[in-house]
């Protein structure tokens, strides 16, 4: 027979402790998901703030460049009204600057368009993430409702059992009452029969039965024999 020596470095307790329970694993996953959502929200918020700041800076630059274009255009018109042409270095410089500044505005507006699209994408991502959180909360709420429904079903079963017990006790009282009524039907029939006889006698004019009472006979006085013979002689 081969004996296996136990490994002193292994213990049952340590073995089980190294295996996380399903509940702990689920909580850990939920915690990691919450951390990921929080981190994602922070990154999205930071990105949106950066994009909005960039758009604001570009709009400020566009406004500044537009003001320069307006000033240079006003000066160029004044020189042109004096009959100056492109051969005039001042007018030429104004026109070149106007052209370059308009190109800058076009470039700035293109960047703003790209940033607005990026901002819309980040907002959509945040919306999807928020909807995911809401749907998860809804799922958890429904799961809680299902658990409550099971509890309600158990309560209904208990109520039904108590109701059946109460009915059993009530039936015992009803049975006792029925037993108390036994034998009374015959008495009721006898009363009904006597009442019917009394009604019939009244209709026929017959007096109701008078209870008969037999009076005792009067005492017979003792007769003397001599007196009785004398009375008989008188009758002759």
Q: Would you write out the chain's pLDDT as a tens digit for each of its 236 residues?
A: 444 454 554 444 444 444 455 556 666 766 776 777 777 788 888 888 999 999 999 999 999 999 999 999 999 999 898 888 888 999 999 999 999 999 999 999 999 999 999 999 988 888 888 888 788 777 877 777 665 667 778 888 888 888 888 888 777 766 665 665 566 667 777 777 888 888 888 777 655 555 444 545 545 556 566 666 666 556 65
Q: Please give the C-alpha separations between residue 7 and each of 2, 15, 17, in angstroms, as whole numbers.
A: 16, 12, 17
Count Cβ atoms below 10 Å from residue 76 Cβ, excluding itself.
Answer: 20
The two structure tokens encoding residue 190? 């006898």
**pTM higher than 0.85:** no
**Which residue from 69, 46, 50, 62 is spatially nearest to 110, judged by alpha carbons?**
62
DSSP-assigned letter for residue 86: T
The span from the CA of 231 to the CA of 236, in Å, is 9
């Amino acid at each position: 027979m081969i004996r296996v020596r136990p490994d002193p470095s292994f213990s049952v307790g340590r073995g089980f402790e190294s295996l996380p329970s399903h509940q702990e694993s689920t909580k850990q996953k939920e915690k990691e998901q919450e951390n990921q959502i929080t981190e994602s929200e922070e990154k999205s918020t930071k990105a949106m703030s950066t994009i909005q700041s960039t758009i604001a800076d570009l709009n400020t630059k566009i406004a500044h460049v537009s003001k320069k274009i307006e000033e240079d255009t006003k000066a160029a018109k004044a020189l042109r009204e004096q009959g100056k042409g492109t051969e005039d270095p001042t007018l030429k410089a104004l026109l070149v600057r106007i052209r370059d500044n308009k190109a800058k505005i076009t470039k700035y507006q293109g960047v703003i368009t790209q940033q607005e699209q990026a901002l819309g994408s980040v907002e959509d991502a945040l919306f999807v993430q928020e909807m995911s959180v809401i749907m998860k909360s809804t799922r958890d709420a429904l799961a809680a409702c299902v658990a409550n429904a099971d509890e309600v079903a158990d309560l209904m079963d208990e109520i039904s059992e108590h109701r059946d017990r109460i009915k059993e006790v009530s039936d015992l009282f009803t049975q006792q009452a029925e037993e108390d009524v036994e034998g009374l039907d015959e008495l009721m029939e006898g009363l009904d029969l006597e009442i019917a006889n009394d009604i019939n006698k009244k209709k026929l004019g017959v007096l109701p039965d008078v209870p008969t009472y037999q009076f005792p006979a009067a005492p017979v006085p003792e007769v003397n024999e001599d007196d009785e013979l004398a009375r008989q002689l008188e009758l002759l």
